[in-house]
Amino acid sequence: MTGTVKKDLNQNIRVPYSSRKAFEERENISKDDFIYFKGSHILLVEDNEINQKIVQNLLKKSGIEITIVNHGQEALDILLDQKKPVDLILMDISMPVMDGYETTRIIREKRLFDTVPIVTFTAFTSQGSEIERMFDAGANSYITKPLKIGQLYSVFLSYLTNTRREISFLEELKIDGLDTDIGLALAKNNEEVYRKSLFDFVVDYKVLIHGMPKWIDNEASQNIISACSKMGIDLRHIGAYELEELVFRMKKIYIYNTEHRIEEFRDIFPKKLEKLVLNIERYLTSG
């Protein structure tokens, strides 16, 4: 499937490309590939909390803004509020209050949303009556549950290529592993306290960019365990989720007596720490 929209000759507007075939699943797609669509805004209409979290976790480092609602009425409220344009709607079928059929039909009655693609997100795996009803209501295409990362990427490649926008400096930091919103919240929204925590982190841990590889080479397990334990707490407090996850994995190696696996972190740890330090320094000098 190529292209994002086609011309409607009767109404002289641009409408989303439609296909009644499920999107192909592209191979060798990772979470990092979704940064290509940064700045886009998708609306996920889905009442299943597990599916919500799967999409959130998949896209949390992409720079894509995700608005999640639990049923159709909430989706209509978001669309009509128009605080920020929605570039793509992922629509579940079976939901409380207002289901996908009714929600899609109402959206398509409003000319304001003619150019917004609606992709059915369904557990039905063939073009049965449920999917056909969604097409009749105005859906443009569909993908299947459980979510396949390569299939979702195909959807975005078809519909979001022309909707990428510049993202903020803070969003760039979040993509790189420093969530300043979380850090500020933990500092009770006191930016002075948060900046002090960031400064202290750099002072305390920058030396490990070169120190940790030496400890790994020398099998200095106690130094590694001690540093990871203390560092993990500080990483959580500043909102550095990516390196916190890495440090936790390093600790688990010693918890499960698999010390031989620590070698795999010899190169990746200093790279991740150096990137974090640079981003902290960018933030601290940003005014």
**179 Cβ contact partners less than 8 Å away, ≥ 6 residues apart:** 173, 239, 240, 241
CA atoms within 13 A on the CB side of 63: 23
Together in a domain, 176 and 237 = yes
Same domain, 221 and 276: yes
In percent, how much of the chain has pLDDT > 90?
Answer: 72
Residue 243's alpha-carbon distances to 58, 82, 108, 236, in angstroms, are 17, 36, 44, 9
Q: How many domains does the chain have?
A: 2
Task: Point out the domain boundary residue: 114, 144, 166.
Answer: 166
Specify the pLDDT at position 172: 85
Q: Are 199 and 155 within one domain? A: no
pLDDT of residue 6: 47
Report the candidate in 265, 160, 147, 151 with the shortest Cα–Cα distance to residue 214: 265
State the Cα–Cα distance between residues 123 and 93, nearest whole angstrom: 9
How confident is the model over 238-284, as pLDDT tens digits?
999 999 999 999 999 999 999 999 999 999 999 999 999 999 999 99
CB 3 within 8 A of CB 140: no
Query: Could you tell me if 146 and 220 lie in one domain?
Result: no
The gap from C-alpha 109 to its chain's centroid, in whole angstroms, comes to: 30
Q: How do residues 45-95 score in pLDDT, each as one tens digit? A: 999 999 999 999 999 888 899 999 999 999 999 999 877 889 999 999 999
Same domain? For 203 and 153 the reply is no
* Structural domain boundaries enclosing 140: 5-166
Among 106, 138, 166, identify where a domain stops. 166
Strands lying side by side in the sheet with 118-122: 65-69, 41-45, 88-91, 118-122, 141-144
Using CA atoms, how far apart are residues 93 and 99, in angstroms rounded to an integer?
6
Structure tokens given for 144: 């299947």
Residues 277, 142, single domain; the answer is no
pTM, two decimals, is: 0.68
Residues 99 and 238 in one domain: no
105 and 187 in a single domain? The answer is no
Q: Are 158 and 143 in contact (CB under 8 A)?
A: no
Domain boundary among 131, 150, 166: 166
Three-state DSSP class for 8?
strand
